Structures are given as structure tokens and as C-alpha cells.
Amino acid sequence: MKARLVAAVLAAGALAALASPAAAQITIHQLAGVDANGRCTIRPTGGATWYTRITAGGLTHAQVLHHAAARLGYGPSPVGPLLVSTANDCSTVFVADELARQVAALGTTTDQPQLTTARRGALPFTMFPSADINAALTRLKQNPVPSDATGTTAWEARTSLTTLKTLREVVGSQRMSSNVLVDVQLNLPEVMLELWSNHFNVELEKANYYSHGSDGYLETMRGAQGGTFASLLTTVMRQPAMLVYLDNQNNRCDPGTGRASNQNLGRELLELHTLGVGPSAGVYGQADVEAVSSILCGWNVLPYSTPRAVGASGFVFNSQLAHPSALTVMGTSFPATGEARVTSMLAMLAGHSATRAAICAKLSARFYAPSLRAAAAAACVTAWGTTGNLKTVVQGLLQRNEFWTAANYRTLLRSPIELVVAVARRIGVKLTDLSSATTAAGLTEAPFVPSGLTTAQVLQDLAALRASNPYKGFLQLKERIDRMLGFPRMKVPPPTGYPMDGAAFLSSNYIDDASRLGLEVAAPLNFLNARTDLSADSERLSLNDQFWATSASASLEWFLEQRMKLGNVVNPSGAVSVPLTAAHLANLLAVFSNTSLWAVHANFPTVGRSNDTLLGLRLGSAAELWR
């Protein structure tokens, strides 16, 4: 009881700290202001506690920045003045303040203006309202004539959503500050969204069988990740995507027996979304699965024949299909109060100690090295308290000395998504490049309002989009992620989602794929960057001098020229070839700067790339595979 009280007080205090208005934080223009002792002349404001914890961990300032970028974002980017190579106490102050800001901003759904502008150019169709998409898709289905441009465009809008996610991960941490583009390196909102969307995995294609079920799923989750876990759970459980994916639209209690006709959602709600264990673990039993499923009867999606207003929820509770009597789940009785009963049951499950433990274990595994996870999970449980406020939980999990120690530094393997995005970021995509490309391609938001366009206009704009560099680049990045994952993103069939531990993907083929990432990502990024003179970016040209001092340089040259047939960087479509320049080579070196990976090829040139398990043994030295 006393421990619970203490936890509640701690959680309340943390909440109050999060709610307090943030003071002005350090700007990028103050990054160099260190005194003779190397101490930044600007002190942290909102991130004062973060700063204390960070510096107590013992990492160097460069390691702090790299660690923050790699673990709380998608890897360091060379864009802007906040660079690992020039890190000092001011950059650590910056990280502390920015971390405080990003934790407090969890749940914000509005993109920064520059990203919105870039999105209009790179992925303009994602700006469509769902109602427009649905109306156009219906026309498309009713009209088999290929020139139904509005319908085609609407379809493109829906399929662009996963590409939008990649866009936010690659450049979502970049913003303009007094006309200077800075990558703040941390991207906690997208890291958390990836975690939650994988925790509440749905296959969007299945969801779209029914009532446009996938619309708004990710955006809604993005808006709910700053509240309590109970509210996030309830929000997700009301989403048509989840209801359709786990078949609860087909769950109704038999009017005679009261039995639920489908237990899929009820079972996964217990085993995956909340308690984290199967019935055999003893926390709950099959009778509880059946009772939960019965309570979920009538928890449904709007019928096809019911008009759905713009922005309206697709959820409906149909009391006729519900169970008419009280039901007991894990010892708690839930009277037949209709929709409110489901909400009460979800709150009970969200607040259960097993749920707290399961979610904290998952969060700890995402952020901590194996040896540090148990203590991190315990800290998470304390921060969770009885309310489960997710901002407090994230803060409690990360605002610890242990997170910022050498024992936790570069100890986790990147998942395929993280790896591809990290390599893209390492090469240096710029938000301003996307904005420039938007202007160059003549793309603005206005022409893509489908209701105001003729078919010819839509087709013309569609052609312009497909010819635009940002679109090509991000589409290729997304496809690369799909290949690395082994299945299309957001179309992971099992409800367990994909393994977030990169080690689960290790195989000779995966390593083979990874070994070519620098090259294959550089090609689409050549589309993204309108510039041809990559040497303009000094960071990109910061060659690893040590590399050239080793024999492995010859290995790399051999690898590029002989194994990869590189006299050119070839566009995957085959339409364009770009001469391999020193700048390309520099990019590759920056990505795979560790020599040992390439040395394998020098030592075993006849083995070839695939199925060379020795590459796997050398993997631990490949810098970009670690976060």
C-alpha cells in the first residue's frame, strides 16, 4: 500500500513536471559557446534533470549525441551544425532540452510546417482527406476504365501512407531555425509510433477489405501515444483497422447461448496487447478469453450502408449483438452496461500488473542492452504507477544514468527499418532538398484536391508526381525496407508484428543485403538530392582517413568494381545511370567505415557475397548495423 502511494506521488510529480510550461531552450546558434573548461555557457532549462542524468552516465559528449540519435532517433544525420564530430557540452545541453521537449510533445499530430511543405511535394496525395479518398476509390471500383484518374490518385494516396512514415523517420527530426537547417537528431515521436504500431500490429490490406478500415489508424495512434496506456488501448480498440484485422466485426453473442462467435480480438487483447502471456501462464484462463470475447460482442464497425462523415470514427457499438448479462473476467464482474462495459474492461486490463510488466519489458528491450533491462523495466513499472501515463513512463525509462552509460552504448542491432533509415540519414537527405524539388516539379497542394479537378488535370499532376525525384526516392527507400523486412511494411500478417530486435533477422542473406545498403540507398538518395555536387557538404566528404591507411581500401575497390560491377550507380529501373564519383565512394565509406566487413571480401574473393557466413562473424564490426 505504502509502495503504491509512493509510486502514485512520484508519478504525480513527474506529471506536474511534464505539464509545466517549457522555458526557452538552447538554440543551435549557441552550440559553440563553451568556456575555458569546456562547459557550455548556456545551461539547460526544461532539460535540467535530463542533463544531470546524461552527464552522470559517463559518455563523452560525442557519444551522448550519437547515442541519442541512434537510440532515440533513426541515427545521426550530417545535416546542420549539431554534429557528432563537433559535439561538446553545448550539444549535450541541446540534447537534454530537446529530449524534454519531445517527451512533452508526445501525442502531437501536427507536422512542423517545413515537413508539411516537403510532404506536399514528395507525397502530395497523403494530403487528401479520407472521405475524398474513399469516394474516389468507390468510383474507381465502379468504373473499370483505366483513365479514372481520380480513383487512381486516391489509391495512390492510400498506398503512400507507409511511404509517409518513412519520410517522417528520415527527415522528421529536421527543422529550420533562423534560416539554418538543423537536424536535432532525436526523433522520439516516430520511434514510439513504430513501437506502438508494431505492438498493435494490423495488416492494413486486410483492414481495407471492410469499410476502408485502415484510414487514420497510424495518425490516430500518433495522437494517442501521449496519454495513458489505457486511453491508447481504448483508442486502438475502437479503430476499424484493429476490429477488422482481428475479426471482431464478425463477433456477436449468440442470442441463445450467449457465446461469442469470434474470439480472435479477445484472445490477442489478453495475450499480446495487455497481459503479454498466454492462458498457460496462469494469469488468466480460457474462461476469461471467452468472457472477454463475449464482452466484445457488438463492439463493431459502422455498416457499409451507414454514411460516414468526414473525419468521423468508423466505430459503432451494436447493443443487439452484445451479451445481455453480467460477465466475469479474471475475478472482476462487469455488469451489462453496453459500450461502457467494454471500456471498463479495457481499463481493468490496462491497469493490471501483468500488463504493466509486459509493456515495460517491451519498452526496456527497445531502449536497453540485455544486461540492463531488468532494472530498466523496474524503473518503468515505478513510473507507470497506477495511472500508466505514457509520457511519465518514457521519462522514467530514459531519465536514468544507466541509459547513458558505456554498457548501453551501441549494444543493440538495428531492425531492418532502422537500418535502412539510418543509412539514408547518414548519407544526408535534407528537408530543404525536398522543398526545392517540390518547387522544381511544380507540385503544390492545390492541384491535388481531387474534387476540383478534371481527369486530364489529375493525370497530368500524377505524371508530374511520378517524375519527381522525392517521390522516386522515397518509394525506393520504402521498397528497400520491405525487402529487408521480408514483407511489405504495415502488411505484417501475424498479430505479433515483426521482431524489433535486429538480431532476429540475421542470416547470410540479410548480411548480404546490408552490405549493399550504402550503395542501394545512395542511388535513390541521388534522386532526392537535387544537387549533383555532393562535395558541397563538408560532412559528407569527411573521409575516414584511417580507412585509406589500411589494406581494406583495396578490398573495397575490388568489391565495388568486380563484385558489384560498379563503374556506375545504376538506377533500379535501369533508366538512369550515374557515374560513380568520389562523392559516392565517400558516402559508402561513411556508411560502412569499418574495414573488417570489406576485408572479408579481400580474403575470400572467390566465395562471393551470398552465403558467406564469415560475413556474419564480422558483423559485429560493421558500425551502421548497431544502434
Partner 1 sequence: MRSLKFLIAPAGLVVGGALLALWLAGPGHLSSPHPASPQAAPPEQQVASARHSVDARQEPTEERSLHDETRDSAIAEALAPLPPEDAEWVLDEAERYRAARAMDDQAMAELVAQLASVRMHDVIERTEPMMPRDPGAP
Using CB under 8 A as the criterion, which residues of the chain lie in contact with partner 1 when the complex forms? 138, 140-142, 144, 146, 152, 155-156, 159, 205, 208-211, 244, 249-250, 252, 254-257, 261, 300-306, 316, 318, 320-321, 324, 462, 466, 472, 475
> Least distance from C-beta 156 to partner 1, angstroms?
6
Question: What DSSP assignment string belongs to 115-175?
Answer: HHHHHHHHSGGGGS-HHHHHHHHHHHHH---TT-HHHHHHHHHHHTHHHHHHHHHHHTTEE
> Least distance from C-beta 445 to partner 1, angstroms?
21
Q: 316 or 541, CB closer to partner 1?
A: 316
CA angle 359, 365, 368 (to 5 degrees): 125
Question: What DSSP assignment string belongs to 103-115?
Answer: HHTTT--PPPHHH
3-class DSSP state of 32: coil
Q: 114 or 250, CB closer to partner 1?
A: 250
Q: 140 or 275, CB closer to partner 1?
A: 140
> Least distance from C-beta 405 to partner 1, angstroms?
47
> Least distance from C-beta 299 to partner 1, angstroms?
12
Give me the helices (H) in 389-536, please.
390-398, 416-427, 431-440, 455-467, 469-485, 508-515, 517-528
Q: 472 or 601, CB closer to partner 1?
A: 472
3-class DSSP state of 506: coil
> Least distance from C-beta 320 to partner 1, angstroms?
5
3-class DSSP state of 95: helix
Question: Which amino acid does the sequence have at 262?
Answer: N
Q: 342 or 383, CB closer to partner 1?
A: 342
Q: 73 or 495, CB closer to partner 1?
A: 495
Question: Which amino acid does the sequence have at 386?
Answer: T
C-alpha to C-alpha distance for 336 and 353, rounded to whole angstroms: 25
> Least distance from C-beta 254 to partner 1, angstroms?
6
Q: Go through the chain and tell me how many residues it has.
A: 627
For the chain, counts of helices (H) and of strands (E) = 30, 8
Which of 110, 133, 223, 119 lies closest to 167 in space, CA to CA?
119
Q: 24 or 575, CB closer to partner 1?
A: 575
* Alpha-carbon dihedral sign for residues 625, 394, 167, 313: positive
Q: 305 or 333, CB closer to partner 1?
A: 305
* DSSP percent split of the chain into helix, strand, coil, nearest 5: 60, 5, 35
> Least distance from C-beta 16 to partner 1, angstroms?
45
> Least distance from C-beta 425 to partner 1, angstroms?
24
User: What single-letter DSSP state applies at residue 68?
Assistant: H
> Least distance from C-beta 556 to partner 1, angstroms?
33
3-class DSSP state of 548: helix
Q: 148 or 418, CB closer to partner 1?
A: 148
Q: 265 or 589, CB closer to partner 1?
A: 265
Q: Which residue has the cell 472477454?
A: 292
Q: Which three cell numbers stand for residue 526?
A: 541521388
> Least distance from C-beta 311 to partner 1, angstroms?
21
Which of 257, 253, 246 lies closest to 301 in space, CA to CA?
246
C-alpha to C-alpha distance for 135 and 151, rounded to whole angstroms: 8
